[in-house]
Structure 1
């Protein structure tokens, strides 16, 4: 969960102004807000989340306590590869999240036969990641999805038209699943080099190397 802090700053002579911070993890925001309040000059402190909902300090602490045991602060990397010679596709995803006070990473790949193009493989990798999120119990929260496919990212952001019927079906399937889960997606494009973990998982799948693990993420 990420929020920004908003507060009124007052000087000893009574001058005041409204202030706010950049968006940050809620746990960090609570520590900063408590320190600010100890100065006696920060008044009317509140927190605004990414859905523009406003929280008091007490409410935000209670919310963090409630979601502590559930996966949250979720970021997903996905990639798909298509081997033209074998007509097989490798799908890979790496999911980073917080749970029980720990930073965790789930890795998953799959080898599939029924796809026809590399773009389909990219969509299928995104769908695989969403299936894993559902199995983890992720729901009613924002999730960031990161991939190196400009086609998938721009189409899911409604920046490019989805003219191919098969890709349109994938996009609709993904939109419906995310809506059912209450997930608010953010789709972010990055280079293949920056997406090397998901790319490696997809390549391993094409080589017949199956990967499925959940471990504590190392900094």
Structure 2
């Protein structure tokens, strides 16, 4: 989860200025807020999460203690590859997250059959990512999903319409899973070059190479 800090800085008597920070990771937001408060000239400092909920420094510190051992600061890369000759799809997913004071990376892929289009493969890859998050025990967390299919991400975000019946079925399944997990999704289109690890996993699935690994990032 990321946070913005808003605070009222006291310049002189009866002269105050409001400041707002950029979006910051939870630990950096708390560290920054505590430094600002040490100035002794700050009034009404609050942290706002991506859902618009307001937190005091004490409340945020307690929250971070509670979630420290749960997966958090989660970023997911996904990609779907499609073989039109065999109607098979290769699904590739990479998940970065923190747990405790450590950072981890999950790499996984899957081969599925009876696909119709590349867009359907992308939807299936997104749904596969949600299943991995469920296995990881992610609940009520902010998650950023990154992929190189702008069409799929914009449809998931609700900005672009989806007229294909089979894709709408995937949308319904995905929306239900997101609701069941209680996660707050952020959809971020990225260039194919930035998504190459998930793309490689999808290609490996089509080649019959199964990958499922979890690695501690040093």
- TM-score under structure 2 length normalisation: 0.95
Runs (4+) of structure 1 exceeding 6 A deviation are none
The aligned runs of 1:1-219 (5 Å cut-off) are: 1-11=1-11, 13=13, 15-217=15-217
Gaps of 5+ in 2: none
Q: List per-residue Cα deviations over 1:23-51 (Å, max 9, x = no partner).
A: 10121111112212222112222211111
Cα distance in structure 2, aligned partners of 1:137 and 1:5: 29
Q: List per-residue Cα deviations over 1:100-143 (Å, max 9, x = no partner).
A: 11121111101112212211111110000000001111111221
Q: How far apart are 1:210 and its partner, in Å?
A: 0.9
Cα distance in structure 2, aligned partners of 1:57 and 1:88: 51
Cα distance in structure 1, aligned partners of 2:217 and 2:40: 38
Q: How far apart are 1:11 and its partner, in Å?
A: 2.7
Cα distance in structure 1, aligned partners of 2:150 and 2:43: 45
Q: How far apart are 1:84 and its partner, in Å?
A: 1.8
How well do the aligned residues superpose, as a CA RMSD in angstroms?
1.4
Gaps of 5+ in 1: none
Q: How far apart are 1:14 and its partner, in Å?
A: 5.1
Cα distance in structure 1, aligned partners of 2:39 and 2:191: 45
Cα distance in structure 2, aligned partners of 1:162 and 1:8: 45
Cα distance in structure 1, aligned partners of 2:59 and 2:160: 40
SS of residue matched to 1:177: helix
Q: How far apart are 1:162 and its partner, in Å?
A: 1.2
Cα distance in structure 2, aligned partners of 1:14 and 1:175: 49
Q: How far apart are 1:13 and its partner, in Å?
A: 4.6
The count of residues paired between Structure 1 and Structure 2 equals 218
Cα distance in structure 2, aligned partners of 1:76 and 1:177: 15
Q: How far apart are 1:174 and its partner, in Å?
A: 0.3
